[in-house]
Amino acid sequence: MKVLFAAAEAAPFFKTGGLGDVAFALPKEIAKHDDIDIRVVLPYYSSMPEKYREDITEVRHFRFQQGNKNVYCGIKELKMDGVHYYFIDNLEYFDRPSLYGEWDDGERFGYFSLAIIEMLEVIDWIPDVVHVNDWQTAMVPVLLVDRYHWKDRLKNIRKVLSIHNIRFQGNYPSSMLENVFGTSFNTFTDDGVKDGDDRINYLKGGINFADRVTTVSPSYASEIMTPEFGEGLDGVIRHNGWKVRGIINGIDYDINNPATDPHLPENYETGDLTGKYKSKEALQRELGLPVNKDTFMIGVVSRLTDQKGFQLVEAALEELLQTEVQIVVLGTGDPQFEHSFRYFEDRYPDKMRALIKFDVGLAQQIYAASDAFLMPSAFEPCGLSQMISMRYGTLPIVHETGGLRDTVQPYNQFTGGGTGFTFSRFDRDDMLPAIYNAMHVYYNDKVSWYKMVDTAMEKDFTWKDPAQEYIDLYREITGL
């Protein structure tokens, strides 16, 4: 079976969040199955690190008609960790300062979606399944049906769309159907790509035209069928409910392994946390915090946005910082949160650090050094950080939503069981007691704390089972 996995980002080449982790780890796991030829296609952004650029080879280049423009398309390839990558090269679209947020994103990813399909006959490799991810590639299923249906070699390709976050949908003027996608207005209907404001909605099109739609946790799959979480697409999801499935993400056990992680001053594993406490002291020293391995340290590694619930954290910090605690925040995002976390660092220099940057090595040090990991997301499709922190023996404190609900087992004060601390109402006054509860167990009930740490570290968050679920899904729609 041949599968083409298309995404707008993949670690370690380019990553802004969870999609980048998934687009690296999932194909790698699927590629371990000898009977599946999975290949990944990505944009060739100019931010590609030099060390990978050196090994990339050019396959072909050609031009195709994109609406009323004739455009260049270079195809490059790289084989790494058993995975075959293709990169779509076009300087006009991908030589930009950032991956997303450019003025012409609609056209850039419209081009990418067309190039993915145009590439297939050029490289003479026609997949049985094309698996697209999020709004940037969601138009591929629409285009396969609407623009390429007459091509015999392409018409049987099955289409899977994975939604990593339904908030980002890609809404653009309807004129793009002609100007960019070069199609008629056949699909510009309520059960096609048309949104409520007479624009096109890439993600909605993908949902309507894919053979299967997956989202990254079972809880989020049910939540997006409700107005509260559906971001305006709950009706579309309900209408297509028969093809929607929730498959939980895993984390990469090669990268996220405290026993081998090269970013830690000393490695550790279940049963001997000496290296964890050395990592904590090293981080305290590095950040200029009082060095004390017993102080309760709360870590945060995240995009600093409303989605991640930082309005609750902001409202709780003044009170929380009165306690025996150290709080280390690593993240970038909403300037309001960046400023207020810096403010608290100035006000409480012995207790708070606001590290406003994106730094993968530092992130791993924080996962290892902290005792608890705070993730009060308003909604969370899956979330990887809570799983990474559990693997590092750092107990998550989370809002019970989406993938957080599916992966964190709440502390049970009667049995001492659980893998983290949870709260159900999205409210500062519900979050604080969960944090205090964690702190109480940490300081006063070491037996329960370390029992939870052991349980969390031993949980299986590998990609093995989720990858098998995707393969089963591919088999179901292809009959292969």
User: Which residues make up the interface to ligand ADP (CB under 6 A)?
Assistant: 17-18, 21, 301-303, 330-332, 358-360, 363, 382-385
CB of 339 to ligand ADP, least distance (A): 16
Residue placing its CB nearer to ligand ADP in the complex, 282 or 356: 356
CB of 134 to ligand ADP, least distance (A): 10
Residue placing its CB nearer to ligand ADP in the complex, 69 or 303: 303
Residue placing its CB nearer to ligand ADP in the complex, 201 or 364: 364
Residue placing its CB nearer to ligand ADP in the complex, 176 or 330: 330
Residue placing its CB nearer to ligand ADP in the complex, 93 or 461: 461
- Asked if 89 contacts 45 with a C-beta cutoff of 8 angstroms, the reply is no
Residue placing its CB nearer to ligand ADP in the complex, 101 or 479: 101
Q: What is the token pair recorded at 395?
A: 């107990």
CA dist 460 and 179 (Å) reads: 48
Q: Quick one: angle between helices 446-458 and 428-444, nearest 10? A: 110
Residue placing its CB nearer to ligand ADP in the complex, 302 or 455: 302
CA dist 203 and 361 (Å) reads: 33
Residue placing its CB nearer to ligand ADP in the complex, 331 or 376: 331
CB of 474 to ligand ADP, least distance (A): 23
Q: Which residue is nearest to ligand ADP (CB)?
A: 18
CB of 373 to ligand ADP, least distance (A): 10
Question: How would you write the chain as a 3-class SS string?
Answer: CEEEEECCCECCCECCCHHHHHHHHHHHHHCCCCCCEEEEEEECCCCCCHHHHCCCEEEEEEEEEECCEEEEEEEEEEEECCEEEEEEECHHHHCCCCCCCCCCHHHHHHHHHHHHHHHHHHHCCCCCEEEEEHHHHCHHHHHHHHCCCCCCCCCCCEEEEEECCCCCCCEEECCHHHHCCCCCCCCCCCCCCECCCCEEEHHHHHHHHCCEEEECCHHHHHHCCCCCCCCCCHHHHHHCHHHEEECCCCCCCCCCCCCCCCCCCCCCECCECHHHHHHHHHHHHHHCCCCCCCCEEEEEEEEECCCCCHHHHHHHHHHHCCCCEEEEEEEEECHHHHHHHHHHHHHCCCCEEEECCCCHHHHHHHHHHCCEEEECCCCCCCCCHHHHHHHCCCEEEEECCHHHHHHCCECCCCCCCCCEEEECCCCHHHHHHHHHHHHHHHHHCHHHHHHHHHHHHHCCCCCHHHHHHHHHHHHHHHCC
CB of 330 to ligand ADP, least distance (A): 5
CB of 361 to ligand ADP, least distance (A): 8
CA dist 21 and 30 (Å) reads: 14
CB of 386 to ligand ADP, least distance (A): 7
CB of 383 to ligand ADP, least distance (A): 4
CB of 352 to ligand ADP, least distance (A): 16
CB of 439 to ligand ADP, least distance (A): 23
Residue placing its CB nearer to ligand ADP in the complex, 64 or 358: 358
Residue placing its CB nearer to ligand ADP in the complex, 99 or 301: 301
CB of 443 to ligand ADP, least distance (A): 27
Residue placing its CB nearer to ligand ADP in the complex, 13 or 449: 13
